[in-house]
Structure 1
Amino acid sequence: MDLNLVRVFVAVYETQSLTTAAARLFVTQPAVSQALGRLRRELDDPLFERDGRSMRPTPLADSVYPGFRDAIAGIDRTIDEVHTFDPSQSRRIVRIALSELGEIGWLPAILTALRSRAPHMRVEVVPLDVDALPEWLSRGTVDLAVTTATIAGGFERRVLKSQGYAVVMSEANPLAAEPVDLRAYASAQHVTASEDSGAPLLAIAQRRAGLAVDPVIALRHVTTLPAVLAASRDLIATVPDTIAEGWATTWPLVVQPLPFDMPPVEVSLYRRSTTQHMAALDWLYATVAYAIEGSSGRFFVIHGDAVERQARPAAGGRA
């Protein structure tokens, strides 16, 4: 079988588009269509059926894709060993999916690591969408993703950090004087943020503890939380502990341990499964992992007014 036919098949499978596959392979769309026709005759199967704008794979295509993908990846890596990838000369565009907090906490370290060795490489940050990640990683829409969510699909991943959670509230909150027990936690007024990718794991831990938390305020951005909490005597939030501790250095906030068991949340780096530019992807994956593992995060940049923090306790906030 012509190896180029296998490469075309992998590109069409991963992009689900003849046009996008042609652009990836630097050929015309008719050339892709012609190659796909030959492969259909070789395997005696339609392989792909049009579904709107997408090319939906047949069961046979699903079954042969893993073997074809691994074969192409192995060949490309062998060729890359001859023509060594040089990050200092690369002008590739790399796309990394990050949450709001990931962009604040990890992006500075990532950019420092990349730009020190690949000064011409362009970086695009894609807002994290956990539901879309399986498709993005399987089609190569993004190269990497950093998330606390577990992504189905068998993608290669590397655990970078383990993150605990804590309760945070204003210094003026009556609950701030001592650790919060389960009863006080259950009856407190909660505020949540939808962009916390660890929220589903927190909800599981709460249910196991017999808690049904119904927030009185549901925000979108995690970065809004410290200002909202600092302005209220009643609200509490449950957030990653290192982030809460960073906020407490400049906001009038108190951080308390959780009153229930919750396993640490793993922050993982996922890589796309598509086969193009494997040497560049290997280098990018290792470099970003090393940068995040060596960084404590820059979550402290979400800060308040230090002068206001010093003045607030004197105004009669805390027992």
Structure 2
Amino acid sequence: MIEQAVLTVREGAVVDLNLVRVFTTVYESRSLTAAARRLFVTQPAVSQALGRLRRQCDDALFERVGSGMQPTPLADTLYPEFRDAVSRIDRALGAVHGFDPATSERAFRIALSELGEIGWLAAIARVVGARAPRARLEVVPLDNDTVGDELARGAIDLAVTSAALDHGHRLVKRERYLVAMGRSHPLAAAALTVDDYRAARRVWVTSDSSARHLAAAHRRLGGVTAAVLSVQHFVSLPDVLMAGECIATIPETLARGWAENWPIAVHDAPFAVPDAELHLYRRPTTQHLGALDWFAATVGDVISATPGRFAAIHASR
């Protein structure tokens, strides 16, 4: 049934490109209302276009489940080909008309963690503002549990995270983990040994999406004492470390920046830890690809070239 319907679409009557665009937008947003908003048309217009395509495909394509639209098996089959077709056409038109950031009034949306905002937002805003002065930049909180769905639906254009997502991405940062502690800590004066590390009182940062690699390294090492303190954010660490009782294993940029400003000592980890990798993910949706290409390239270049302003995190001392 699915194969026969696909052949009907491919070899039967010519399918209006507008219908294909409506289909891909509904598929990505899972909502008629959201699709209408993204296409700048009314919801009845989306419903009518979807009805025409349903008749051509002889399939419901989407079924309402709760407040959303669930694609049928045929819709799942059609989407990759329809998406690629729309993308090719949009890129061809974009090559003719081009995207001009100097005149664009688009709103670009990016998901950043708290550290991402501290480290790179100022540089991103400066470059985007200089090249696209009429555009708007919107930053939303990064939630690694939902960011993949937000990208898939086109709710955000880009996301910067070390989490592994099934979306197009670019590696923008790679850095090793170092061990940080207050300079008054008993282990601050000399290189750490494995036994020192195993027995030390540690702080764990629950929001560190690369910490799964550190946890795996701890398991391989064996005998590592459980963390005595878990905090939600890296910004809590400077004061905790300067109190002199705990150590923390954190990305090098943070550790070096803090050591330059506060009485914090930094040591190499006495065991192997995979580097923390930060990726820039982009939405797979088909709208405004020229603008998306420009925004992704601009943000990726800025982050790659910016060391990060993490020393700007304030401590109470």
Verify same fold: TM over 0.5. yes
Runs of 4+ in 1 over 6 A off after TM superposition: none
Q: 2:224 & 2:290 partners in 1: Cα distance?
A: 48
2:11 is matched with: none
Work out whether 1:266 is the aligned partner of 2:277: yes
1:289 is matched with: 300
Work out whether 1:44 is the aligned partner of 2:58: yes
Q: Give structure 1 stretches of 5+ with no counterpart.
A: 309-319
Q: Aligned letter for 1:189?
A: R
Q: 1:208 & 1:64 partners in 2: Cα distance?
A: 45
TM-superposed deviation, 1:302: 1.8
Q: 2:44 & 2:314 partners in 1: Cα distance?
A: 56
Contact 2:257 2:310 in 1 (8 A): yes
Residue number among 76, 101, 108 corresponding to 2:90 in the alignment: 76
Q: 1:256 & 1:162 partners in 2: Cα distance?
A: 18
Residue number among 175, 192, 195 corresponding to 2:207 in the alignment: 195
Mean Cα deviation higher: 135-144 or 37-46: 37-46
Contact 1:106 1:295 in 2 (8 A): yes
Q: 1:304 & 1:250 partners in 2: Cα distance?
A: 10
Mean Cα deviation higher: 197-206 or 89-98: 197-206
Q: Deviations over 1:75-129 (max 9, x none)?
A: 1111112222110111111111111111111112211211110111111111111
TM-superposed deviation, 1:209: 2.2
Contact 1:99 1:197 in 2 (8 A): no
Residue number among 81, 85, 88 corresponding to 2:99 in the alignment: 85
Contact 2:214 2:274 in 1 (8 A): no
TM-superposed deviation, 1:201: 2.1
Q: Aligned letter for 1:281?
A: L
Aligned residues: 303
Contact 1:102 1:146 in 2 (8 A): yes
2:187 is paired with a residue whose SS is helix
Q: Deviations over 1:248-280 (max 9, x none)?
A: 112111111112111212111110001111100
Q: 1:235 & 1:295 partners in 2: Cα distance?
A: 30
CA-atom RMSD in angstroms: 1.4
Q: 1:194 & 1:112 partners in 2: Cα distance?
A: 30
Q: 1:177 & 1:26 partners in 2: Cα distance?
A: 63
2:145 is paired with a residue whose SS is coil
Q: Give structure 2 stretches of 5+ with no counterpart.
A: 1-14
What is the identity percentage for the equivalent residue pairs of Structure 1 and Structure 2? Answer: 54
TM-superposed deviation, 1:211: 5.0
TM-aligned CA distance change 1:205 to 1:23, over 3 Å? same
1:243 is matched with: 254
TM-superposed deviation, 1:197: 2.1
Contact 1:96 1:125 in 2 (8 A): yes
Q: 2:33 & 2:223 partners in 1: Cα distance?
A: 50
